Amino acid sequence: MAARLAVMLDRGMSAAAFSPDTERLLDQAAAFCERRSLRLTDQRRQVLGLILDNPRPSGAYDLLDRLREVGRPAAPPTVYRALEFLTAQGLVHRIERLSAFVGCSHMLDDAAHDAAGTGTGTGTGTGTGHAHHGLHATQFLICTACRRVVEMADSRIRVAIDAAASAEGFKPMAATVEVEGICADCAADAASAQSLAGVS
């Protein structure tokens, strides 16, 4: 562990800190920012990496604790500024019900396609599945049992919001839908526990 931490510090938050999949996404995010004349600084990269590596949403103070654990202590304003930047670029989403953040898989996938010249984005920096006819509509399924969050970009929900707003003479530009419930894994665990209780 000490050797791994030394490598992380020596490389300045390098590949040793995160899983290969997360490092790939971080490289895509860096290229995404560079194409927009922006910088994914070491601090921003570290915060984004911690969010992407976490299977559950990360709160600001969770991120501060984890930065300390890897020998990169930061003041709360520094982390909040990084989160503000990442959110503004669409690289992370804030889950309001949890006051926590998740990485935007759709944005990062689109960034890779754009870099390869195969993207279908609109050129607005919001990526496919995020910008359709001006409306940015993202949906989240939040499991109240395990706190995992699944991001969706279902066009049918976007169309329904667009139509309902238009009927009121309202032009929507952004919409976030947060749905609380129980995920399939937790539902299966609960059903299994009930079955075992019935047997006993």
How far, in Å, CA of 157 to CA of 159, rounded? 5
Final residue in a domain of this structure, among 87, 113, 129:
129
Instruction: Please state the domain count of the chain.
Output: 2
Residue 143 is part of which domain span?
A: 132-200
Same domain flag for 66 and 147: no
Do 172 and 162 form a contact (C-beta atoms < 8 A)? yes
Going residue by residue through the chain (200 aa), what tens digit of pLDDT does each one get?
A: 343 343 344 444 443 379 999 999 999 999 999 999 999 999 999 999 999 999 899 999 999 999 998 888 889 999 999 999 999 999 999 999 999 999 987 776 655 545 555 444 433 333 333 443 456 788 999 999 999 999 988 889 989 999 999 999 999 888 889 999 999 999 999 888 877 776 55
Do 28 and 45 form a contact (C-beta atoms < 8 A)? no
Same domain flag for 56 and 107: yes
How far, in Å, CA of 2 to CA of 96, rounded? 37
Same domain flag for 81 and 136: no
With 0-12 CB in 10 A as exposed, 13-18 as middle and 19+ as buried, what is 191? exposed
Same domain flag for 80 and 158: no
First to last CA, the chain: 44
pTM: 0.74
Same domain flag for 111 and 140: no
Sign for the CA dihedral angle at 158, 160, 166, 168 comes to: negative
Q: Kind and range of the H or E element at 44? A: helix 42-53
Final residue in a domain of this structure, among 90, 107, 129:
129
Same domain flag for 67 and 99: yes
